[in-house]
Amino acid sequence: MIIKYEYKNLTWIDIESPKQDEIRKLMDEYSIHPFVANELLLPTIKPRVELYDNYIYLILHFPVSKHSHFGKNRNQEIDFIMGKDFIITTRYDKIDPMHSFSKTFEINSVLEKGEFGGHAGFIFYHMINKIYKSVSNEMEYTTSRMERIEDDIFKGKEREMVQEMSEVGRVLLDFNQTMSLHDEVLDSFKKFAGNFFGTNFTYFIESVISEENKIMNNIQKNKEVLYELRETNNSLLSTKQNEIMKTITIFAFIFLPFSIISGFFQINTINTPIVGSSNDWLIVVGFMFLGAIFTFIIAKMKKWL
């Protein structure tokens, strides 16, 4: 599906789930290289940037966390083709910040207001900032999620938080793997954009790189916090398990006389004492309790309890 937006002398063509006939039409209209046109049809594995005579071709992937409208963690790809007076974006599913940006672009087009500048590079600048803002919001959600995990850890929910922290760790891993690939690509893009749009535009790309660095710093910070939370949770779990084992051991130690005395009277002999006399069961049980009490007193004196 192709949607075309216009702002003064600038054109933005947004394509979702591109088809061959749509790409062929754009290839003829904007002189897109066949190799690039073929790349637009299917998602790619890694981001990259390439400079052509009349446009810059840029591929970026963006992370999406579990609480979005997708059912599982995944990355979303956007291909950008930036000419002097046009920008083409292709994507393979719905991307919320792109939808939000299109509404802003439409309003500015109608009112002929905004700060989209004199070439299509500025459209990319505002677009990528919108997307990075969305990624930052995802990180803020993850940060608040870890704050809830911290509260629950100290509320005695250590076991439940093991699974919760594993899920957060997977989100951070996906975000880190995806966003870390932006560094090299954006550095190359800054050089290409400086030659293509003019050296003054590199200032705006440096601003974009700064936003990407903030996201990476936030990811790293959350990874460190998650590590500390996991260590704290493991310590509390270990302490709780040790207390349980200590209690079980104490009970086993106190009731050890029961096992010894009952085993003594289970010896298959003819002249077993007490057995067969009046109140023999009460006497045997009494010995057991006396032995347990004596063991308990010894444990207290030794400060084992």
φ/ψ (deg, to 5) at 40: -70, -20
Q: Are 23 and 37 in contact (CB under 8 A)?
A: yes
Contacts of 201 (CB under 8 A, 6+ apart): 119, 121, 122, 193, 194
CB neighbourhood size of 83 (10 A): 20
Give CA–CA dist 163/156, Å, rounded: 15
Q: Look-up: residue for tokens 């933005």?
A: 12
- Maximum average pLDDT range among 18-32, 244-258, 269-283: 18-32
Tokens of 102: 């299109």
Q: Identify any residues that bridge with 61 across adjacent strands, giving them in sequence order.
A: 77
| DSSP state letter for 47 | -
Pinpoint the alpha helices (H) of 180-279.
182-197, 202-254, 256-265
pLDDT tens track for 251-267: 777 777 777 777 766 66
- Could you tell me if 90 and 78 are in contact, meaning their C-beta atoms sit under 8 angstroms apart? yes
Per DSSP, the three-state class of 9 is coil
Reference 65, options 265, 231, 215; nearest CA is: 215
For the ranges 44-58, 158-172, 187-201, 257-271, the lowest mean pLDDT is seen at 257-271
Please list the residues that pair with 4 across neighbouring strands: 13
Mean of pLDDT values over 185-209? 92
189 three-state secondary structure: helix
Give the CATH number of domain 2-239; options: 3.40.190.10, 3.40.50.12240, 3.30.460.20, 3.40.50.1980: 3.30.460.20
Query: What are the residue boundaries of the structural domains of the chain, listed by start?
Result: 2-239, 255-301
Judged by average pLDDT, the poorest of 12-16, 140-144, 228-232, 291-295 is: 291-295
Amino acid, res. 273: P
Identify the H or E element spanning 161.
helix 158-179
How far is the CA of 202 from the CAs of 128, 183, 193, in angstroms?
14, 15, 7
Helix axes 202-254, 120-153, angle to 10 degrees: 10
Residue whose structure tokens are 């002097």: 84
Higher pLDDT, 274 or 40: 40
Q: What is the pLDDT of residue 71?
A: 45
Sheet holding 56-64, edge to edge: 2-7, 10-16, 86-91, 74-82, 56-64, 48-51
Q: CA-to-CA distance for 147 and 145, rounded, in angstroms?
A: 5
**Structural contact between residues 193 and 201, judged by C-beta atoms closer than 8 angstroms:** yes
Helix (H, G, I), strand (E, B) or coil at 11: strand
pLDDT tens string 105-138: 777 665 455 566 688 899 999 999 999 999 999 8
Angle at 164 (CA atoms; ends 158, 166), nearest 5 degrees: 105
Q: What is the pLDDT confidence band of residue 158, given thresholds at 50, 70 and 90?
A: confident
Q: Are strands 56-64 and 48-51 parallel, antiparallel or unpaired?
A: antiparallel
Total Cβ atoms within 10 A of residue 60: 23
